[in-house]
Structure 1
Amino acid sequence: MDLNKKVDELKDSLIKSVEKVVKIKSVQEEPKDGMPFGEGPRKVLDCALDISKELGFKTVNMDGYIGYAEYGHGDDYVAVLGHLDVVPEGDGWKYPPYAAEIHEGKIYGRGTLDDKGPIMAALYGLKAIKDLNMPLSKRVRVIFGTNEETGSKEVEYYMKKEKAPVSGFTPDAEYPIIYAEKGITIFDVVKDLKEGCQKGYNIKSIKGGTAPNAVPAYCECIMDGDSAEELKKLAVDFSNKTGFDIKAEISGKDIVVKSYGFAAHGSSPERGKNAVMRMFAFLATLPLGNCELKDYIDFFNKYVGEETDGKSFGVYLEDKESGKLTFNVGCVEMKGNRIKLSLNVRYPVTHKVEDLINPFNKKLEGTGINIENMTHQKPLYFPASHPLIKVLQKVYEEQTGKKADLLAIGGGTYAKEMPNIVAFGPIFPGKPDLDHQANEYIEIDDLVANAKIYAHAIYELAK
């Protein structure tokens, strides 16, 4: 019997296992003893390990952080890394988010697609290999994470105690194969303001954006000073001239200026309209006098403005593997004598972070602007000729009959958290990405198709 027929035999059991884990609400909660991410993540981890035991696998629970099912022998191992934690369900569901109801060939529920269904598919792919007693030269671990949605601290815990796999994949993205993920930096650019602006309008505060990795859709500036009616007219004139959506309103003794944009993900800021930078563009037209705040605003208008590729800032990078650097101004906060912008800059995979930061710092020289709160994720990149990529391409093409094009993305996947793995499925080309959406579902046919693809991928990597 071949692998695909064995997976078909396991279909009903696979569906029941997906239902079991989806019915557990595994959103991060307050930690408790033995439950580093709360009761839900620990409960679903126990459930997945119980399912694995019933299927005949050795299981290990690493102190409630993370666990795995293991099969085979050998010094080296192949890993399939998935996660059992989920984001909050939110509103707008037509079927209960934790009931795992089946309608029209689809299992509905939070986590069905991201990532409980796919990691169960991988587990059952390994079960098919085990049942057929197919010879392997390496161990295989199906690893169950519990903190992917809120920091991936569980993988950090795992890597402190275990050696890395020699190869593997995460079923937590899309097909065919994501072989390149840009380097991601998030940091604040901060200036202390020793003096306020003395002429015209006095800016009391600026606040905009919700996160560095999102294009801000709204920004608000509170000020007082010269004629409020004149400022309202200036806002109308500016909007008519630029097409930007800027409004000024009177609120007691203050004037509130509101800038409206269009949100987009920080990995593709060119798709949005940045409300913070449009606010800066308007503020630069006002009589503020010579002051440090105006210098800060003018600096970012000159070197960023509407650009999303870092050209004027002097940090433009590009490669054929992953395209252009992306530069997103995500948040602004100015109150009292301090202002900061929170930036999310993603750089191409064949470059190093120094290629970004060195010219960035050079541009800041003499401005009094400093970088604070820097976080960094290195790029993930496997050359197209890499054996892992070749194996996954072969499997995908044989199982689907479609070409396995390689994907490069600006976002970061679970693959970045563990060495020697890439993102491989579960979303097929043309199918909707329902991760984090209301009415999340996985089609049963796609669940089974994933189990078949993952079975062959595991076997090819571990045989």
Structure 2
Amino acid sequence: MRLEERITDLKEDIIKSTQEIIRIKSVKAEPDGDMPFGKGVNDCLNYALSLCESFGFKTKNVDNYAGYGEIGEGSEMIGILVHLDVVPEGDNWTYPPYEAKIHDDKIYGRGTIDDKGPAISAIYAMKAIKDSGIPLNKRIRIIFGTDEESGWEGINYYLEREEVPTMAFTPDADFPAIHGEKGILMFDLVKKINRECRVTKIKGGNRPNMVPDYAEAHVKDLDLNLVYEYGKNNNIKIDAGKEGDTTIVKFYGVSAHGSLPESGDNAISKLMVFLDTLDMNDEVGQFINFYKDKIGMEYYGQSIGCGFEDKESGKLIFNVGVIDFSDDEIKVSVNVRYPVTYEKDAIYDGMKSVTNTYDIDIVETDYMAPIYMPKDHALIERLMKVYREETGDNREPITIGGGTYARSMENAVAFGPLFPGQVELAHQKDEYIGIDHLMKMTVIYTKALAELLK
């Protein structure tokens, strides 16, 4: 039986499994007994392992930090690196984020594209290979990470204890094959506040790698009419209300992945630009002015001293994801994706040339070095061969700002699931995967595995 025909036969099962795994809310939570990332993530891992077991794969749960399903024999191992955790769902979904409802041949839900839908696709690609009778002279192992969105503790736990694949791809980015990923910095901009100020609280965002869709500020002696007039004049959705002499101002935006801030609308930045119009001269007002002048609505870090770019991977990306001010400290959490030919010290040095003037500290919270693989690398060439044959698209391999599990080991790259021109909905409300898209990428992953088995 041809591989495409086998995938077609499995269509209803692929859809059903995708819906079932989406219905498990697997946002990282506090440890719960032997579940390091909470019950939801643990339930999702057990679901994936059970599905693999039902297909006759060899499986292992790695202490609830990770797991894998495996087929085949031999010393060489082809890895498929997926993750089962998802970012928080946010607000204002058209369809419930954990019901996996189908509308217009699209499955809606958190994780449909990032990364549960691709994980199910890869499991069924392995099943199709297993059922096809193709000689399995290498092993194929799908590795389930559980903490990709907030620290990689799960995949790192796996790598410290289990066998590392000979080669691998991760379906957690874009097609065609990705031969470079920008470096990632996460840090806090921290300003100590020593005096009582007119703004008493600012809060917004969920995580540094998400464009925030909500932010609020508590401001003393602020006329509500001024707030609404600003919103009307600038075509911005704002809510406001009074609590005694304090006005609570609420700004709304559009969530998006932190590597693509231009796809969203940053509620924190819009709020800070508004607050700067109040001309406050106290310590918080000075920080707000710094934010407006040196960050503002920019995506590329040019005003804060790190607007770098290279021909290999393009411009640096600068995303403010979280702000938290109460009591005596303002903390702004930032996610930066920097070009593959730069070192991280150049990024920090550029920013410090600006922030030192304002007595603002930069505190690093996470770092991933960039990765880069030549376009003529054997793994890239073989994945590109399958992609071109299946799509008729002869474009070249690409580089991205996103950070995938390809960084976690040697000889690994990202490959799909988004096709060129498709809207990036990871980390956004109304995330979905089209059923035709799900089936097409399953065919590509099946044929990619067949190619890598040769």
State TM-score, norm by structure 2.
Answer: 0.79
Mind listing any 5+ residue stretches in structure 1 that lack a counterpart?
197-201
Residues 1:462 and 2:453 are matched in the alignment? yes
The farther-off stretch of 385-394 and 265-274 is 265-274
- State how far apart, in whole Å, the 1-side matches of 2:286 and 2:20 are: 58
- State how far apart, in whole Å, the 1-side matches of 2:292 and 2:112 are: 44
Deviation at 1:80, TM superposition (A): 0.7
Q: Which position in structure 2 is the counterpart of 1:311?
A: 302
Contact 1:232 1:249 (C-alpha < 8 Å) held by counterparts:
no
- Tell me which amino acid in the other structure corresponds to 1:275: K
Q: Which position in structure 2 is the counterpart of 1:118?
A: 118
Pair 54,218 (structure 1): closer, same or farther in 2 beyond 3 Å: closer
Mind listing any 5+ residue stretches in structure 2 that lack a counterpart?
none
- Tell me which amino acid in the other structure corresponds to 1:127: K
Residues 1:451 and 2:426 are matched in the alignment? no
Contact 1:206 1:332 (C-alpha < 8 Å) held by counterparts:
no
Pair 29,249 (structure 1): closer, same or farther in 2 beyond 3 Å: closer
Residues 1:220 and 2:217 are matched in the alignment? yes
Contact 1:415 1:422 (C-alpha < 8 Å) held by counterparts:
yes
- Tell me which amino acid in the other structure corresponds to 2:142: V
Residues 1:205 and 2:205 are matched in the alignment? no
Contact 2:255 2:429 (C-alpha < 8 Å) held by counterparts:
no
Q: What is the identity percentage for the equivalent residue pairs of Structure 1 and Structure 2? A: 41
Pair 292,144 (structure 1): closer, same or farther in 2 beyond 3 Å: closer
Pair 188,401 (structure 1): closer, same or farther in 2 beyond 3 Å: same
User: Which residues in structure 2 correspond to 1:246-285 (within 5 Å)?
Assistant: 251=242, 254=245, 256=247, 258=249, 260=251, 262-263=253-254, 265=256, 266-270=258-262, 272=265, 274-279=269-274, 281-283=276-278, 285=279
Q: Secondary structure at the match of 2:164?
A: coil
Residues 1:326 and 2:317 are matched in the alignment? yes
Contact 1:97 1:439 (C-alpha < 8 Å) held by counterparts:
no
The farther-off stretch of 442-451 and 390-399 is 442-451
Deviation at 1:55, TM superposition (A): 2.8
Find the partner of 1:395 among 365, 369, 386.
386
Residues 1:129 and 2:129 are matched in the alignment? yes
How large is the RMSD of aligned CA atoms in angstroms? 4.1
> Aligned residues, how many?
447
Q: Which position in structure 2 is the counterpart of 1:199?
A: none
Residues 1:52 and 2:52 are matched in the alignment? yes
The farther-off stretch of 73-82 and 16-25 is 16-25
Pair 193,173 (structure 1): closer, same or farther in 2 beyond 3 Å: closer
Pair 348,88 (structure 1): closer, same or farther in 2 beyond 3 Å: closer
Find the partner of 1:353 among 344, 355, 368.
344
Find the partner of 1:377 among 368, 393, 396.
368
The farther-off stretch of 159-168 and 39-48 is 39-48
Structure 1, residues 258-286: CA drift from partner, whole Å, max 9, x if none?
48574454434456362244145324x34
Q: Secondary structure at the match of 2:134?
A: coil
Larger Rg: 1
- State how far apart, in whole Å, the 1-side matches of 2:101 and 2:236 are: 44
Contact 1:168 1:461 (C-alpha < 8 Å) held by counterparts:
no
Deviation at 1:347, TM superposition (A): 1.4
Deviation at 1:318, TM superposition (A): 0.4
- Tell me which amino acid in the other structure corresponds to 2:378: P
Q: Which position in structure 1 is the counterpart of 2:162?
A: 162
Q: Secondary structure at the match of 1:130?
A: helix
Pair 207,159 (structure 1): closer, same or farther in 2 beyond 3 Å: same
- State how far apart, in whole Å, the 2-side matches of 1:250 and 1:111 are: 35
Structure 1, residues 208-241: CA drift from partner, whole Å, max 9, x if none?
43244425654425235xxx77x977x899899x
Deviation at 1:141, TM superposition (A): 0.5
Contact 1:248 1:256 (C-alpha < 8 Å) held by counterparts:
no
The farther-off stretch of 381-390 and 25-34 is 25-34
- State how far apart, in whole Å, the 2-side matches of 1:124 and 1:336 are: 52
